[in-house]
Structure 1
């Protein structure tokens, strides 16, 4: 007799999945850090959109420096990272970053139904902490733990972040689901043996090549005022992603 898998844990990506952070949060923070460190670099939206295919801010800066033919020391990159994080934290605390549609609703539902929720992100720990402190004052968030860029040596699209999350949450892959928005995130989750609900980032130029690896592709999680639109996968009742919908994705035939 085949036992159907039951959802135990949901893994949330942060940037572009949990919250809209990139263009109004991270990008201005990078530019302020560059100016502060005396670099004549400006990442306009088009430049930053191209760089978003590179997971993690440090690697983005190193890649851009190579593209510009500039040589920076490890100490300079470390200082840039610290400066950028400070400016990003300031942006978050000022209210420049908000949850995506339907996120707060689904977080509450999963919490009420005793589903474990973890964050799995390529962002650094301080950035995640600042975001949670701002969006969930007083520590009133539903996350059991966080796997950040500081917890693994290889970031998305490596499976390491999700393998670490499975290990720490004591969850088997067939009892978990990942929520992602990007190519690196999708590939990381799939390589770790996880099924994935994908909400494609408008900045990811490569994602269309990999979307068929997701169990469902939607524009967002849906709210009463703004129902979601399903591009592929099962139809979504009332345009709202619910625990029942996530459970359905877990038992779809391969």
Structure 2
């Protein structure tokens, strides 16, 4: 069995349930605060989630609405949204995905490198980690965020940078993702990918077969359900299970 050297974690929808009760609400509060007559309901926000990164999301929606967002207004929106997002996290609106905290600790104890690879900005990532578990880094060796790359997911650049920073060969690492852009990014960088699908991603069913395994979560009080991939002993994703996935051939 291959030895796992690095795990690359996506954040939104993978590490934590951040989108509908966190980011979406924070955007709407920022719009209201700055006098912008937008309201992103769950259906609309699910559609907008196909656009990686909050800045691009707002820019494209503005273009759709024939609204001009000046660089200054866009920056103020980002700052207001970040402030409201942090308030929501502190209020308990965002929680770890099932089994995440257990798996983070198990991998840390085993000496496996863990990196965050996300289309979110660094400030959002740090706020989430500080509030959810009282740390700014914790088990993570580092992160690749939207602030570090020119092209976000589905481009492979975020994962290519993570591989360079970690010094790990793609055959000794695995990506944990929940979305079609994330899956495409990981696979284009030569990585195997375990997918815990987001219910908000309409493109994902078409790409599921490109994942090395597809599960509903990582396994906690309830066992995870496997949609594709090898059986998961005890209904939990473990280091042993991730190393099993490394031994499966790439498509």
| TM-score, with length taken from structure 1 | 0.96
Unaligned runs of 5+ in 1: none
Instruction: Tell me: CA distance 1:214–1:138, structure 2 relative to 1, closer, same or farther (3 Å).
Output: closer
* 2:58 maps to 1:45: no
Offset from partner CA, 1:173-209 (integer Å, 9 cap, x none) = 1111000000110001000110000001000000011
**Following the alignment from structure 1 to structure 2, what is the Cα–Cα distance between the partners of residues 104 and 7?**
18
Matched residue, 1:226:
222
Offset from partner CA, 1:30-67 (integer Å, 9 cap, x none) = 00110111100000111101101110001110111111
Q: How does 1:32-71 map to 2 (within 5 A)?
A: 32-71=29-68
Contact in 2 for aligned 1:156/1:188 (Cα 8 Å): yes
**Following the alignment from structure 2 to structure 1, what is the Cα–Cα distance between the partners of residues 58 and 137?**
34
Matched residue, 1:83:
80
**Alignment counterpart, residue 215 of structure 1, candidates 197, 212, 215:** 212
Which ranges of 4 or more aligned residues in structure 1 deviate by more than 2 Å? none
Superposition RMSD in Å = 1.1
Instruction: Tell me: CA distance 1:23–1:173, structure 2 relative to 1, closer, same or farther (3 Å).
Output: same
Give the drift of 1:6: 2.0
* 2:12 maps to 1:15: yes
**Following the alignment from structure 1 to structure 2, what is the Cα–Cα distance between the partners of residues 51 and 180?**
18
Bigger shift: 193-202 or 73-82?
A: 73-82
Give the drift of 1:5: 3.8
| TM-score, with length taken from structure 2 | 0.97
**Following the alignment from structure 1 to structure 2, what is the Cα–Cα distance between the partners of residues 69 and 62?**
10
> In structure 1, the residue corresponding to 2:168 is in which secondary structure?
coil
> In structure 2, the residue corresponding to 1:118 is in which secondary structure?
strand
